[in-house]
Chain A
Amino acid sequence: MIQPFTPEPIRYVAEDGTPVQPLPARFTPELLRELHALMIQAREFDRKLITLLRQGRTTFYAQSSGMEATQVGLARSIRVGHDWVWPYYRDHTLGLAMGVPMYELISQCLGTNSDTCRGRQMPHHFAAQAQNFVSISSSIASQVPPAAGNAMAQKYLGVDEITVCTFGDGATSEGDWHSGLNMAGAAQAPALFVCENNQWAISTSIREQTASETIHIKAKAYGMPGYYVDGNDIVAVMEVLTQVAEQIRGGGGPALVECLTYRVGSHSNADADAEKHYRTREEVEEWLGRDPITRVEKLLEHLGHPISAEERAELIARTHREVDEQVLRAEATGQPDWRIVFEDVYADLPDHLRQQEAFLRAEQTGGQA
């Protein structure tokens, strides 16, 4: 059984690709290749979306390059479409790996008619009902208390589900975060809290964020176990999260898992000059050396199942083609019209909104109310 509160992050694979402890049997070369492919897909998705941003075809994007092992590992540790997920805005890789169609993610980023969320939210704020991937809110940590409530409902209903709630390191400073963990702890609800600790909240480093040495030790205060994982080691992430999820499913109460990782790119497009303002090139280089994708490639090499250059190039090319295709498909659906302003505010349209809608219809159709 995995131990909570370890002083060092749990890892299975060292940076040079050699296992530091025996790999659990399920991590066959086939599975490792599959995980590798998902991570490559996510990284290239980032690249392509940043291009779209530069072309002005979308207006916001939050990269997860460098964090693929954490998000893909989490996606592969839970029962997709059965468990519930309250994600945060950097989780498109989690969504992709959970099987949210790329077309849906792109449509949301472009705010087209094919956006299942009807263009209400800014780019990169998805919702996917089939995956129980609950709508992302920009407001940091506001998803944490509802996630606790979701888990309480699961306990009340006696269902065999768990609730996953993700957030960055910055989120752990918000009152909502503490309230949510405390509530889940008091209720012994089946909640898995996952901190994607990428060490920066925009320009604020984790050292300025909290005087606490780590995030996972905060779990102690809320009466739940806290686990510390190397978030760039996909084997460690998957192994720990799978075991913790099963423990929670078996009635073990909530848990907090801190995945130590790094946001290699900028916070968002609004912050493209991160290194100029607040962090050093050396730091970024150091973390590039711990890249989660390279680590799996080295591990596969070590296991005698290397990924060939052609194979890698083909994976990358396939993702680029797929993104291009889905972008064209999404753009062809056009933009939602003015009606989206009024739909879904309430279950039905109250009188005052009916009047405002009629006003806007007249305005938009040149007086033909």
Chain B
Amino acid sequence: MTATQDRADQTGAGESAVTETRTINLIQAVTEAIAEEMERDSRVVLFGEDVGARGGVFMATAGLQAQFGKNRVFDTPLSEASIVGAAVGMAVRGLRPIAEIQFADYMGPGFDQIISQAAKIRYRSAGQFTAPMVIRTPSGGGVKGGHHHSQSPESYYTHTPGLKVVMPSTPYDAKGLLKAALRGEDPVIYFEPKRLYRAAKGEVPNHDYVVKLGEAAVRREGTDLSLIGYGGVMPDLERAADALAAEGVSVEVIDLRSLVPWDRDRVLTSVHKTGRAVLVSEAPRISNFMGEVAYVIQEQAFDVLTAPVGQVAGFDTPYPYVQDKVYLPGPNRIVAACVKALTY
């Protein structure tokens, strides 16, 4: 599948495959998605620490308060429990809140509100009350931030039924997934890989589009091995695939984009084709979400596997400040895991 076809697929049947596009970076994609959704739907409100006049610590919300006013874009007291809890209350009462948590590392104080309220209100009230809302937060390492500004806590949230969990790696997906999340009926944890904020540049169409949650993207097709990741590591997967291509190995690169729900079909189809899979994420290995992907592959594709499913993850240590490069699974480590699978 080519990139253009892939995009055409994502925009859905009936959309033209050839559209006018612009090149933007990932953080601009986030800002645009919020602005366009606020324009489209007056129920959308945005709040968090420093999102207003300051425009967020990464400037993801720059200009939005000026554009939409303090009623719709506002700073909150420094309390993640209040931010998440208030978002739940607003959502129950009919708004579409976007709550920004300044760093994924600081979702801790809001954790109870996420797992006890946001995730469960639909189930426990049998749908009488629901909390459609989006919690946006920068996550992941590679910015010399030490453990409180570099963690990848997505697995805590994938482990909580009732939450949807997404992590884009391209501007196209960042915009489309955020719009889809805001138009959906469930609470969504939307992780933004902060090291790609400005590093990831790409085309987005000028027209309105969404990227449906739960569909993986095939970044390149291949026949020898399926290399599967999401978020901040995706450029490293591409680099690893380039290096292997130079050695004559054909790697299929898949970006999960959504973790809950995740695209089992896409992954299994690929593994049936290649017979080998290497899974990459930068979160610590134990209870890493990729463990679930590996389980499903061995359960559903055991017969076609020609090597054990490989996994490249962060170490089971807190994220260090110095030696942070050593912590992250770079292209070399990914290539090594692929070679191990290829030579099994």
Contact = CB atoms under 8 A, between A and B. Distances in A.
Partners in one complex: yes
Interface of A: 59, 111, 119-123, 125, 137-142, 170-171, 173-176, 201-204, 208-210, 270-271, 277-278, 335-338, 340-342, 345, 352-353, 356, 360, 363-364
Nearest to A339: B323
B147 interface: yes
| Most chain A Cβ neighbours within 10 Å, of B55, B108, B286, B322 | B322
B49 interface: yes
A122 B321 contact: yes
A140 B321 CA distance: 19
Interface of B: 49-50, 52-55, 57, 75-82, 105-106, 108-109, 144-149, 285-286, 315-318, 320-323, 326-327, 332-333, 336
16 contacts: A111-B321, A120-B146, A121-B147, A122-B149, A139-B105, A139-B148, A140-B78, A171-B78, A173-B78, A174-B79, A174-B109, A176-B109, A202-B50, A202-B54, A336-B323, A340-B323
Contacts of A139: 105-106, 108-109, 148
B57 A270 contact: yes
Contact of B78 (A209, A341, A356): A209
A171 B145 CA distance: 21
Nearest to B58: A270
Chain B interface, >50% SS class: loop
Contact of B82 (A119, A173, A202, A364): A173
B53 A335 contact: no
Contact of B316 (A137, A201, A208, A345): A345
A365 B53 CA distance: 49
B257 to A, nearest CB: 28
B57 A125 contact: no
A4 B286 CA distance: 51
Contacts of A174: 78-81, 109
A271 B56 CA distance: 10
A208 B77 contact: yes
A151 to B, nearest CB: 22
Contact of B77 (A210, A335, A336, A363): A210
Given A176-B109, A204-B75, A336 B322 contact: yes
A203 B317 contact: no
A170 B78 contact: yes
Nearest to B150: A122
| Most chain A Cβ neighbours within 10 Å, of B285, B317, B333 | B317
A150 B75 CA distance: 33
Contacts of B50: 202-204
Given A119-B322, A174-B109, A341-B323, A137 B148 contact: yes
Nearest to B108: A139
B315 A360 contact: yes
Given A119-B323, A122-B145, 9 more contacts: A139-B108, A141-B78, A174-B80, A175-B81, A201-B78, A340-B320, A341-B315, A356-B316, A363-B336
A271 B105 CA distance: 19
Contacts of B105: 138-139
Contacts of B75: 203-204, 208
Contact of A360 (B149, B286, B321, B326): B326
B268 to A, nearest CB: 28
A8 B147 CA distance: 40
Contact of A203 (B53, B77, B145, B318): B53
A102 to B, nearest CB: 20
Contacts of A345: 316-318
Contact of A122 (B52, B144, B323): B144
A356 B315 contact: yes
Nearest to A360: B326
B339 to A, nearest CB: 13
Contact of A138 (B148, B316, B326, B336): B148
B31 to A, nearest CB: 16
B317 A341 contact: yes
Nearest to A273: B54
A202 B49 contact: yes
A341 B323 CA distance: 7
A363 B321 CA distance: 19
Contacts of A363: 332-333, 336
A356 B286 CA distance: 12
B303 to A, nearest CB: 29
A364 B79 CA distance: 42
Given A121-B321, A338-B326, A341-B315, A138 B149 contact: yes
B77 A209 contact: yes
Nearest to B52: A203
Contacts of B77: 170, 173, 204, 208-210
Contacts of B109: 139, 141-142, 174-176
Contacts of B286: 352
B52 A119 contact: no
| Most chain B Cβ neighbours within 10 Å, of A59, A202, A341, A342 | A341
Nearest to A138: B148
A314 B327 CA distance: 45
Contacts of A121: 146-148, 321
A213 B336 CA distance: 60
B326 A341 contact: yes
B144 A59 contact: yes
6 closest Cβ contacts across the A-B interface?
A: A122-B146, A119-B322, A138-B148, A203-B54, A173-B77, A170-B78
